Structure 1
Amino acid sequence: MSADTNPPVIRLQDYTAPAYRLRHVEMVFDLDPESTLVTTTMAVTRLAGMEVPLELDGDRDMALVSVWLDNRELPDGRYELTEESLTLRDLPEEFELQIQTSINPKANTKLEGLYQSNGMFCTQCEAEGFRRITFFPDRPDVMTTYRVTIRAPKADYPVLLSNGNNVENGDLPDGRHYAVWDDPFPKPSYLFALVAGDLAMMEDRFTTMGDRDVTLRIFVEHGNESRCAYAMDSLIRSMKWDEERFGLEYDLDIFNIVAVSDFNMGAMENKSLNIFNAKYILADPETATDADFALVEGIVAHEYFHNWTGNRVTCRDWFQLSLKEGLTVFRDQEFSGDQRSHAVQRIEDVRMLRARQFPEDAGPLSHPVRPDSYIEINNFYTATVYEKGAEVIRMMHSILGEDGFQRGMKLYFERHDGQAVTCDDFTAAMSDANDMDLSHFKLWYSQSGTPLVTVSEHYDETAKTFRIRVRQETRPTPGQEKKQPLYIPLRTALIGQDGQDLSCRFDGVEAREHVLTLTKAEQDFVFEGVGEKPILSINRGFSAPVILKSDAGHPEKAFQMAHDADPFNRWNAGQDYGVSLILEMVETLQNGGKPDVDPAFLDAMGRIARDQAIDPAFKALALTLPSEDYVAEQMQVVDVEAIHGAREHLRRAIGTAHRDQFQHLYETHRLEDGRFDPGAEAAGHRALRSVALGYLGSADGDTAAPVLKSHFDQADNMTDAMAALRYLTDMDVPERASCLTAFEERWKGNQQVMDKWFGIQAMSARQNTLDDVRGLMEHPAFTMKNPNRVRSLIGAFCIGNPLHFHVQDGSGYDFLAEQVIALDKINPQVAARLMGPLGQWRRFDSGHQEKMKAAISHVLESGELSKDVYEIASKSLAG
């Protein structure tokens, strides 16, 4: 697809219901790496009054072998075949259609449909991969039952898996064997899954609340069995939690997970056969960090929770993607909060939202939680659909309360089990179950952009009232010039001078915390019975996904850092304070001056470091400065060099001012029992110790290298080893090379750990990092065919290293354009996702803008592009 091509645009307003219903599907796979034969038999009913042809989706990389209608082979003239479809006309009301196709899994580098990974057959059918297996109505609102037979050489592929229950197995001539899988629950084609290979297995069992005995199995490549225990434990805890919190029980006799080395996504929730990127299953203390363990726990839970929120009730069309993803992200966040710490989990979730979704909302690719149109659906697996979608669900939960939300969930399943539905259907269930009008609230689904909420304060000492005026504004985004006021719930409290929440009256209710409902462009809220001038704590728990600006200055932020009873706002006050200081220092650096550091901020950070009552995990977050990317989001014109310089200056000042305290934290939070515990408490101690190590390194400069190397050498877990490497990779010292070499030598045979080795070098602040990245692309372990490896090196540099990606000469932009063009021919999904940083060109000065636009134009003018890359590149340039 070239720049002058106009690809078809799929629009929500053009949706039409399917004209044919599939009563049942049977599939037979004769597996061969280069020539797999797929025989698909469909029992079809044409719906009353629908006198239209049957159009089946297909793909140019798939060969049609034959078409049979009611046991008679059709000649070429009875159907119309194109590169992307098979169309049949003049069909009876009920018929049986059999289609044979031939595919080449070994050559499938797109990793969509049926492909091979390290010799194993596996599938990825979401969103539109099934059409690369057979001609089919490949849309989520066509749901049916499947019976699948898999045949393959037994010696090479002893494990044969698909959806549902395994109902038959047997041997065949010539050393082949077969397995038959039957899935009694209707599902759309995107949930189809198949795996075949020589795999090791870990097994456990779970008894549901209805006394169903479920076999649980995790399949991995041989040698990785010992690294599955945490994933299995996470699965069991997820199943139990979903019963206790939502009353949802697993519905089959077996639940399988397979870990795959080559995978475009994190994982896939196929009914009863979840296929995972191996990095989100394999975890042990030697090879996985605490962050990895948390991701394994959260993603295993997420995919399991889809069994009801996504599988039993699925999407009518892909515009409704957040129906399943936003809801299930909310559920996995709640699960992780219950398993670990709700305060820490909430902060981590918001950090991700601000880092990924807020920039998306502010850029050329901004789109609503429920998009209006797309060219390539793979491009809408975005932070807006997932993370902002989860925030929309969380706001509903805040508005309705836990009991009301659960009533809505119960009604949702009662109405729609076994159906493909819409976001409106979900909201209607919530509304009807609680007799509450949510029509205004639904605007969150259709309006893009992040609201800016501005708060001004006035305290009347005589009347003992505290008035706040709250304004909301959502700026224009591509395709939406005019914005309407949203329904914004703001959890709010007033803090007294003793640091305690004040009891006061709002809207006739006496309480220490209130939920303000902002529904207009501007509203006043008055609190009564306020005996002293308070400190305002608003949007507690990040109750609404907004950007908040208030009258609060540095003294108020410092007070909140010390006293706010809401953990999120206590942390956020420090982030706001830190951002304002860094921005002040940026301005000083841009004017050629030497920045000063506010002593009050240093004191506030010191108080946090000394406060023994603070949970270590929370303290680690509270002591961590705002990221360079987050600071950049607050600037009209981004200056990455000044931001980096200012942030490092502040970090050194904190480290120097409190060096003794950080040394104390480093020594006292060492875990001495010798056993690694992946739980939240132990992880919190390691996190705090890592933060202390970083401040010690910043205070001591290059003289800290021996201490960092000692930390690396003594590390008995990956978290500690990576903490030392993270700081060493920024230094030009001999210890850097020796530790990186030792790490590579030890882990060169482990793909997941080597991804860390590539990534940490790509994000280095050292000069010539781009040269290092180009050199690492020549490393024997690097390949463009593995998405994890591409993300760990190219993605880590272009997305995770703004200092060197945005270098003045534009070489970072040219590098990304080169890699996108090359990768598009191998894996368009991954290539398109790398394009994001170039779309932020409007936020930079004219020099950077021209170089970024030139890089995008170079991609567009490079020749034939996939729809994936074309859509992102063209919108980035024009939006």
Structure 2
Amino acid sequence: MTLREGLATVVLRHDYTAPAYLIDRVDLSLDLDPVKTRVLNRMQLRRNPAVTPQPLRLDGTDLNLARVLLNGAGCSFRLDAGQLVLENLPAGPDPFELEIFTTCCPEKNTHLMGLYLSQGTFFTQCEAEGFRRISYFLDRPDVMARYRVTLRAHQAAYPVLLSNGNLVEHGALEGGRHYAVWDDPHPKPSYLFALVAGKLVQREQKIISRSGKPHTLQIYVRAGDLDKTEHAMQSLMAAIAWDEARFGLPLDLERFMIVATSDFNMGAMENKGLNIFNTKYVLASPASATDADYAHVESVVAHEYLHNWSGNRVTCRDWFQLSLKEGLTVFRDQEFSQDMAASASARAVKRIEDVRVLRSSQFAEDAGPMAHPVRPDQYAEINNFYTLTVYEKGAEVVRMMQTLVSDAALDPLGRAGFARGLKLYFERHDGQAVTCDDFAQAMADANPGSALATQLEAFKRWYAQAGTPRVQANAQFDPALGQYTLELRQHCPATPGQPHKEPFVIPVALGLLAADGRALPLQLEGESQATGTSRTLVLSAPVQRFVFTGLVGLEHAPIPSLLRSFSAPVILHTELDADALRTLLAHDSDAFNRWEAGQLLMLRQMLAALHASGPVRPDVLDAATLEALRAVLRHPELDPAFKALLLTAPSEAYLAEQVQQVDPPRIHAVRLSVRSQLAQALHADWVWAFEAHPTEGAYRPDAVSSARRDLTGLALNMLCLAARASGDAVWPGKAYQRCKDAAHMTELHQSLQALLHSGHALAEPALERMHQRHRHDDLVLDKWFALQASAPDFDGTLLARVQALLHHPDFKLRNPNRARSLIGSFCHANPAALHRPDGAGYAFWRARVLEIDAFNPQVAARLARAIERWQPLVEPYRSAARKALSDVAQHPGLSPDVLEIVTRALAAEA
């Protein structure tokens, strides 16, 4: 079965077979040279007794094969479709040695997979299938071996030589060369192999673990960047301490290293003991990084370190199980970030931010042609399945497990039960390559009698079924009996290849509020007394009814607060009217649902404006909603960051997911109208918010200071937008002055964004000043490009501006960060500018996808997804987008990465 003959063969999960051979030991020697790196690979192999004898097939890509020896002697072999095939191998269980000598050219490796050169430094990226670009190998995650690696290179050019594990030997060689030998005591799959060689400087930190063992932590960067690594080091130490304290998982190596490079397709990579990072997630200083950057560094450093156990010590049996490590580790890094936030309000803000990403992007993926289960059933190119579904939805599946192993009385959050399950998981499977089923089983076995254990098989449908379930909530109240009946119905729409879905197991956390906002005690029918004001119901059938009693004396029906803390990744439909939503907004003890009530008040009125005929009106929001939002902004006790989130209108992407016919420019117009209305109606309140929340003293990226800056940044944005309507020059002038005097990057970025998002002419000199001041800082230049590409297209000239920026001296198409900052920001983050009536945006997308695909298919495939959801578009956008996809699909020499994306997008028409 093929997508197109000869280009991309579909791999099926149910075709999995265990490897016919196992590799116990790998001795790898690399003589590093940009043009011709020599790789000597000595492997100790043995037949897998559980598999019928068959030839050994080793994967290889872009390698020059020079020699193959079996137990030190020559042997017969053949090359077949990118594989090295050996048939006459020793019979029996005894191990044998295979020696393979190859060469490769890192200098020409523009894919940034395998071994490649970046600004004179060697790096590797082996996940998912990059090791085959270094040597012929069983390049699959269920083959785990111990590695001993010898690196040789010219000392002057490459003074630092790094690989996985522990440094056991190093020294000088003749001709100005030197060597280093690294030994990794832990067996690992080939995707976790790493090496780095180049001119780098390091920050080093010695620590003592809880068990009393010493460890060395090192961060390697290019000269000149060392002063930007302190936050990453602090984040690493915090993650190490947190994992040992919360889950009893210690650092298991003598040293742990991080290396940063700007030429990297991903955010970071968890190679055992030698994590390679995109500079974006390591380097941070007040002058170059925003509050969001600091938070991302902390989160990503933690994520990759936490993989040391959830992904490295226990890894995936096959790539279909990718969420086994990624979903679990995203959940763990989210928990880490919430614990680092310290206060309850900051924890709530982090949860809301995570859910916003899930709902605006992952829900869209569930509704599009690339919809797939958390554990996919097939793929043509594995790199295309590093998706929000695998990562973010996978994390929500793990979070639901934590909820479902909770003990309402002793462990209402499920943290103790989850910790028991994780402990059992690692005890059972340490050093193994396993499946999502193994993880779920360990969770259930460690918590017998829990909702997860009793409904495990049904719960695992979250791994097997694609799509976002819909939950409809209806209620009836009998005031005479004091009885409130809640009916929950679930269904999941069809997705590609899955027309029918079985019911999911959905935890629904809820509370009930009286009309005056009081939290009501909860007592289900059959219970002897009420217990608490919050409860988690488990919906596992198409329809279920839950009867609450003991509510005598209420004049009005209780107001349900459903799906608290977003307890399941579903779309919830309720009958709540605007009065009920305003009550939740004013009084709900659950911060997430308080935010959600405000978002729903705006969303419903925005959708009404979207569906109305004629031009978009300036008064989309009614007076009651404006007053409710004003009360939030003025509330003396609410966290400033929470206020900023609540007063930010639903995104254009989220709006597009709520309608069947998508008109991107009209969606943009509706959202702009709402923002303008909020800016003008609450003008005095925004002035107060800006002036009442200063941050004094030296810059600190802590939650309290960042929260205050979140609100002042939004306030300044709104005040500049209000000035656009009034013609007032005061606030744009203040924003421009802040750009000139900015004490840190957050202040500069927020001020420039306020000018750009109000279309003010002062944005131009502010952009020029930013460029002149920071033209030697690559990460700031990325922001500079992104700010322009994501700005509102007030006069229809933004595309021309972006096209001109392609020729800017500082634009580097082959650098993934720079390409994403300009092209990615325009195509993914600016739908109103991309979806032009004249089709010019699609022509731009088409040209850039094909241009990038010629040298980096992985980056091109990500860009290709910008218009995969073309079907719901109204005309003329729909036809123009389809033609652009078809043009790309028919382009000769298209990579399998991009081919899969565009083929699936076009197939959705059927």
Q: What range is the shorter-chain TM-score in? A: over 0.9
1:677 equivalenced with 2:700 (yes/no): yes
CA-to-partner distance for each residue in 1:86-116, whole Å, 9 max, x for gaps? 0000101431000011111111110000001
Counterpart contact for 2:169–2:181, Cα < 8 Å = yes
| C-alpha deviation, 1:219, in angstroms | 0.1
Counterpart contact for 1:31–1:37, Cα < 8 Å = yes
Match of 2:395 among 390, 398, 402: 390
Structure 1's 596 and 486: CA in aligned 2 closer, same or farther, altered over 3 A? Answer: closer
Tell me how far apart the structure 2 counterparts of residues 178 and 644 of structure 1 sit (CA, whole Å): 58
Q: Which residue of 1 aligns with 2:806?
A: 777
Aligned pairs (5 A) from 1:295-306: 295-306=296-307
SS of corresponding position for 2:175? coil
Counterpart contact for 1:120–1:197, Cα < 8 Å = yes
1:494 equivalenced with 2:508 (yes/no): no
Q: Which residue of 2 aligns with 1:442?
A: 460
Q: Which moved more, 1:16-25 or 1:65-74?
A: 65-74
1:512 equivalenced with 2:533 (yes/no): yes
1:668 equivalenced with 2:669 (yes/no): no
Counterpart contact for 2:584–2:597, Cα < 8 Å = yes
Counterpart contact for 2:153–2:179, Cα < 8 Å = yes
Aligned pairs (5 A) from 1:282-321: 282-321=283-322
Counterpart contact for 2:422–2:442, Cα < 8 Å = yes
| C-alpha deviation, 1:498, in angstroms | 3.0
RMSD between superposed Cα atoms in Å: 1.3
Q: Which residue of 2 aligns with 1:863?
A: 892
Tell me how far apart the structure 2 counterparts of residues 122 and 407 of structure 1 sit (CA, whole Å): 38
Tell me how far apart the structure 2 counterparts of residues 521 and 867 of structure 1 sit (CA, whole Å): 40
Q: Which residue of 2 aligns with 1:453?
A: 471
Match of 1:803 among 826, 832, 845: 832
| C-alpha deviation, 1:595, in angstroms | 4.5
| C-alpha deviation, 1:828, in angstroms | 0.3
Q: Which residue of 2 aligns with 1:352?
A: 357
| C-alpha deviation, 1:707, in angstroms | 2.3
Gaps of 5+ in 2: 406-413
Letter in 2 for 1:491: A
Counterpart contact for 2:42–2:98, Cα < 8 Å = yes
| C-alpha deviation, 1:556, in angstroms | 1.2
Counterpart contact for 1:322–1:385, Cα < 8 Å = yes
Counterpart contact for 2:618–2:673, Cα < 8 Å = no
Aligned pairs (5 A) from 1:446-595: 446-507=464-525, 508=527, 510=530, 511-531=532-552, 532=554, 533-588=557-612, 590=614, 595=619
Q: Which residue of 1 aligns with 2:789?
A: 762
Q: Which moved more, 1:691-700 or 1:231-240?
A: 691-700
Tell me how far apart the structure 2 counterparts of residues 550 and 690 of structure 1 sit (CA, whole Å): 33
Q: Which moved more, 1:648-657 or 1:567-576?
A: 648-657
Match of 1:706 among 721, 726, 733: 733
| C-alpha deviation, 1:222, in angstroms | 0.3
Match of 2:59 among 54, 57, 75: 57
Counterpart contact for 1:451–1:473, Cα < 8 Å = yes
SS of corresponding position for 1:270? coil
SS of corresponding position for 2:546? strand
| Superposition misfits of 4+ residues, deviation over 6 angstroms | none
Q: Which moved more, 1:554-563 or 1:114-123?
A: 554-563
1:123 equivalenced with 2:127 (yes/no): no
Tell me how far apart the structure 2 counterparts of residues 168 and 236 of structure 1 sit (CA, whole Å): 27
Letter in 2 for 1:527: F
Counterpart contact for 2:602–2:650, Cα < 8 Å = yes
Letter in 1 for 2:148: R
Q: Which residue of 2 aligns with 1:19?
A: 20
SS of corresponding position for 1:369? coil
| C-alpha deviation, 1:3, in angstroms | 5.1
Q: Which residue of 1 aligns with 2:410?
A: none
| C-alpha deviation, 1:733, in angstroms | 3.9
Counterpart contact for 1:506–1:514, Cα < 8 Å = no
Q: Which moved more, 1:292-301 or 1:428-437?
A: 428-437
1:844 equivalenced with 2:873 (yes/no): yes
1:426 equivalenced with 2:436 (yes/no): no
Counterpart contact for 1:3–1:861, Cα < 8 Å = no
Q: Which moved more, 1:643-652 or 1:96-105?
A: 643-652
Counterpart contact for 1:588–1:595, Cα < 8 Å = no
Q: Which residue of 2 aligns with 1:409?
A: 422
SS of corresponding position for 2:185? strand
Tell me how far apart the structure 2 counterparts of residues 40 and 21 of structure 1 sit (CA, whole Å): 15
| C-alpha deviation, 1:73, in angstroms | 2.9
| C-alpha deviation, 1:689, in angstroms | 0.4
Q: Which residue of 1 aligns with 2:714?
A: 691
Counterpart contact for 2:619–2:677, Cα < 8 Å = no
1:327 equivalenced with 2:340 (yes/no): no
| C-alpha deviation, 1:82, in angstroms | 3.4
| C-alpha deviation, 1:734, in angstroms | 3.4
1:621 equivalenced with 2:622 (yes/no): no
SS of corresponding position for 2:602? helix
State the TM-score, normalizing by the size of structure 1.
0.98
State the TM-score, normalizing by the size of structure 2.
0.95
| C-alpha deviation, 1:181, in angstroms | 0.1
Tell me how far apart the structure 1 counterparts of residues 675 and 127 of structure 2 sit (CA, whole Å): 44
| C-alpha deviation, 1:405, in angstroms | 1.1
Match of 2:77 among 79, 88, 97: 79
SS of corresponding position for 1:126? coil
| C-alpha deviation, 1:2, in angstroms | 9.3
Structure 1's 656 and 594: CA in aligned 2 closer, same or farther, altered over 3 A? Answer: closer
Tell me how far apart the structure 2 counterparts of residues 581 and 216 of structure 1 sit (CA, whole Å): 53
Counterpart contact for 2:287–2:744, Cα < 8 Å = yes
Tell me how far apart the structure 2 counterparts of residues 481 and 610 of structure 1 sit (CA, whole Å): 48
Letter in 2 for 1:644: H
Letter in 2 for 1:777: L
| C-alpha deviation, 1:497, in angstroms | 2.6
| C-alpha deviation, 1:5, in angstroms | 4.7
Tell me how far apart the structure 2 counterparts of residues 622 and 102 of structure 1 sit (CA, whole Å): 57
| C-alpha deviation, 1:847, in angstroms | 2.2
Tell me how far apart the structure 2 counterparts of residues 353 and 846 of structure 1 sit (CA, whole Å): 28
Tell me how far apart the structure 2 counterparts of residues 447 and 33 of structure 1 sit (CA, whole Å): 46
Q: Which residue of 2 aligns with 1:642?
A: 666
Letter in 2 for 1:81: L
Gaps of 5+ in 1: none
SS of corresponding position for 1:685? helix
Tell me how far apart the structure 1 counterparts of residues 835 and 902 of structure 2 sit (CA, whole Å): 18
Match of 2:862 among 833, 854, 858: 833
Counterpart contact for 2:616–2:670, Cα < 8 Å = no
| C-alpha deviation, 1:781, in angstroms | 1.2
Counterpart contact for 1:313–1:417, Cα < 8 Å = yes
Tell me how far apart the structure 2 counterparts of residues 370 and 58 of structure 1 sit (CA, whole Å): 27
| C-alpha deviation, 1:248, in angstroms | 0.4
Match of 1:399 among 389, 404, 413: 404
Letter in 1 for 2:9: P
Tell me how far apart the structure 1 counterparts of residues 7 and 288 of structure 2 sit (CA, whole Å): 47
Tell me how far apart the structure 2 counterparts of residues 118 and 183 of structure 1 sit (CA, whole Å): 28
CA-to-partner distance for each residue in 1:807-846, whole Å, 9 max, x for gaps? 1111111111111111111100000011112111111114
CA-to-partner distance for each residue in 1:662-710, whole Å, 9 max, x for gaps? 111101211122x000111100010010011111112221534212212
| C-alpha deviation, 1:83, in angstroms | 4.8
Structure 1's 309 and 90: CA in aligned 2 closer, same or farther, altered over 3 A? Answer: same
Structure 1's 566 and 2: CA in aligned 2 closer, same or farther, altered over 3 A? Answer: closer
